[in-house]
A and B are shown apart, each in its own frame.
Chain A
Amino acid sequence: MKWPLETSPIPDSELPLYNSYYLHACRTPEDPAMIWGTEVEVSKLQDYLRTANRESSFLLTTSHILIRAVAKALEKHPDFNQRVVGKRIYRFKAIHVLMAMQDPREQQAELLLVKDANQRSLSDIAQTIWKHHQDAARGNFTYQKEKQTFRFFPQPIGRWILNFQQFLSNRFHLPETSMCERQRCSPVLVNYLGFRGAPPMKMFKASRFPNESLMMNITMGPSELRPIVQNERVVIRPVAPLFVRADHRTVDAYRIAQFTETLRSYISNPDQMDVQTGTRQATSKTKQNRSEAKPIPDARAAETNSNTHHTTSSPA
């Protein structure tokens, strides 16, 4: 039986005070969510995809890069790879990323879990995603069994089961099961909304799924050509909006800023993630399984690394 979380919760004494306020005193309608909206210049990402797709065995897209960027950002900022269970905070043992996708047959949103996303190559992630897309197009979606199970019961019982499942998952540390892994094994939902025909995105408030595992939501919108300032000159570049929603019970705005800046730097420069197209990186599961979180990186170092890549003017 596999358990996605560390055995013991983080001691209250190690939690920042203001996170504890949200953790213990937050009642509806109080909302501990914080959203950081920003934008990211994607010309290098587009060049990267253009080059990679000349050699890759699988079609690589922005959403694949976004998944890996989020996973690498979680690796660098492990305090985001955790969740609330009841009134306690637990760290995840591995870095799994949940991705929203469209089921083409049923024309509805679906969620796909990409396991160990930080240890996988871009090509590997692309292969996994395309396989699921393909299966969905054929009506054999991975979580079809879960859907059928809920729909098997009469509606009132099905609704009660959904509700009870979330109740248990939000209050107790439960093991992974194939039916419920999407609800328990990832701290983040990634949403790429840059599909063809999508209108420009100026603001996006990601909804809060009734599941305490998903402490974060990362949404990227369609890119559009915008005037930006680089080296004190106005240039036209493709720029995409990026929204990061996080939970004040586990992190604060300063740390969200650091995380978002790391994520932006990975998206705008995919080479930084040490991506190897078409190859699988050596696994480092023993390294991942060490229980202690990595220290928070120095803010000035993160700022120096990322500010050389992108500066923006105010929107036109």
Chain B
Amino acid sequence: MEIIDTIEHELTGFIAKRAQVDYPLKPDTDLLEEGILDSLMMMDLVAHLESQHHVSLGDRDLSPRHFRTVSCLAALVAQKQDSLNH
């Protein structure tokens, strides 16, 4: 759980900075509903996840259910990292 919390914290900071969000971003904030996630932001995020968190995202990973909230995203990253370690 600590790992996921760390990933959540890091991703929250990254998204808030890149998307210039001027209110506190929570792990369960709906990124799609709030209009925070567009195609440019999405690609920045994918590049960040792959370079900083060392995961490789497949086509099927780019789905709304993985990118809807920071929590969902952190869970995806943790799952990918776990698969790599095993």
Contact = CB atoms under 8 A, between A and B. Distances in A.
Question: Is A bound to B?
Answer: yes
Interface string B15-48: 0000110000000000011011111111110110
A138 B59 CA distance: 13
A196 B59 contact: no
Contacts of A196: 19-20, 35-36, 38, 40-41
B43 to A, nearest CB: 5
Contact of A53 (B32, B42, B59): B32
Interface size class on chain B is 20 to 34
Interface in A96-151: 101-102, 104-105, 127, 129-131, 133-134, 136-138
Interface stretch (A5-13, A33-41, A57-65): A57-65
Contacts of B35: 196
Given A134-B57, A196-B20, A102 B40 contact: yes
B43 A136 contact: yes
Contacts of B67: 59
B64 A137 contact: no
Contact of B64 (A59, A102, A105, A127): A59
B59 A134 contact: yes
Interface residues of A, number: 27
Given A104-B47, A196-B19, A59 B40 contact: no
Given A53-B64, A58-B62, A134-B62, A195 B43 contact: no
Interface of B: 19-20, 32-33, 35-44, 46-47, 50, 57, 59-60, 62-64, 67
20 contacts: A50-B32, A50-B33, A53-B32, A54-B64, A56-B63, A57-B60, A58-B62, A59-B32, A59-B42, A59-B67, A101-B39, A104-B44, A134-B46, A134-B57, A134-B62, A137-B46, A137-B50, A196-B19, A196-B40, A197-B20
Top 5 A-B pairs, shortest CB-CB distance: A137-B47, A53-B64, A104-B43, A133-B43, A130-B62
Interface of A: 50, 53-54, 56-61, 63, 101-102, 104-105, 127, 129-131, 133-134, 136-138, 194-197
